[in-house]
């Protein structure tokens, strides 16, 4: 009787998790080249509104990137795990928290836009506990860019989302 009960429980556990037997494994694919948008590579922000040169809290720059994991395709989804390095320079910070609005444009081989994805990167500036001052901080963050396998992505372009006021202050 115990053998029948064990067989029945084993059968139910396998049949209820149908993905266990039918799941396809992830297939490694080539990672596309990554470029930085030249006019959207820098970012500034501040606590006070409207933002002026006198009340800027920090300046951030997209510095580098890396694919620390391989890009892969699983079922009908392509995933590009991208690590991005930001350099944050304190100007007149009032708090250590920073929020960096980022976009990634997925382009095809003709440099036509396939898709735009948006991310919000949260971090903190490092500070000196004795002087209570902030100093230049390297912030690294990982994002997963996911798209349909039907999109033939040939390159990625990364930039900060900037409003008109921030663009004018940066130029």
Is 3 inside a domain boundary? Answer: no
Q: What per-residue confidence (pLDDT) applies to 98?
A: 94
Total domains in the fold of the chain = 1
Q: What's the CA angle centered on 70, arms 69 and 76, to 5 degrees? A: 120
Is 59 inside a domain boundary? Answer: yes
Q: Which domain holds residue 40?
A: 24-170
- Do residues 39 and 137 make contact, with C-beta atoms less than 8 angstroms apart? no
Q: What per-residue confidence (pLDDT) applies to 111?
A: 93
Is 6 inside a domain boundary? Answer: no
Q: Is the model's pTM score more than 0.75?
A: yes
Q: What is the pLDDT of residues 13-45, one digit of tens each?
A: 665 555 555 556 789 999 999 999 989 999 999
Cis peptide before 150, with omega less than 30 degrees from 0? no
Is 12 inside a domain boundary? Answer: no
**pLDDT confidence tier of residue 2, bands split at 50, 70 and 90:** low
Is 145 inside a domain boundary? Answer: yes
């Amino acid at each position: 009787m115990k053998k029948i009960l064990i067989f029945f429980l084993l059968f139910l556990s396998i049949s209820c998790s149908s993905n266990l037997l039918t799941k396809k494994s992830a297939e490694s694919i080539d990672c596309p080249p990554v470029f930085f948008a030249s006019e959207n590579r820098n970012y500034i922000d501040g606590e006070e509104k409207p933002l002026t040169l006198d009340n800027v809290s920090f300046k951030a720059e997209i510095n580098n990137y890396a694919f620390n994991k391989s890009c892969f395709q699983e079922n009908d989804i392509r995933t590009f795990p991208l690590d991005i390095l930001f350099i944050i320079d304190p100007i007149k910070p009032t708090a250590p928290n920073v929020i960096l609005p980022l976009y990634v444009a997925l382009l095809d081989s003709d440099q036509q836009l396939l898709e735009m994805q948006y991310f919000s990167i949260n971090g903190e500036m490092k500070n000196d506990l004795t002087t209570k001052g902030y100093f230049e901080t390297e912030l690294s963050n990982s994002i997963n860019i996911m798209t349909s396998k039907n999109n033939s992505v040939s390159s990625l372009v990364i930039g900060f989302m900037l409003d008109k006021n921030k663009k004018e202050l940066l130029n």
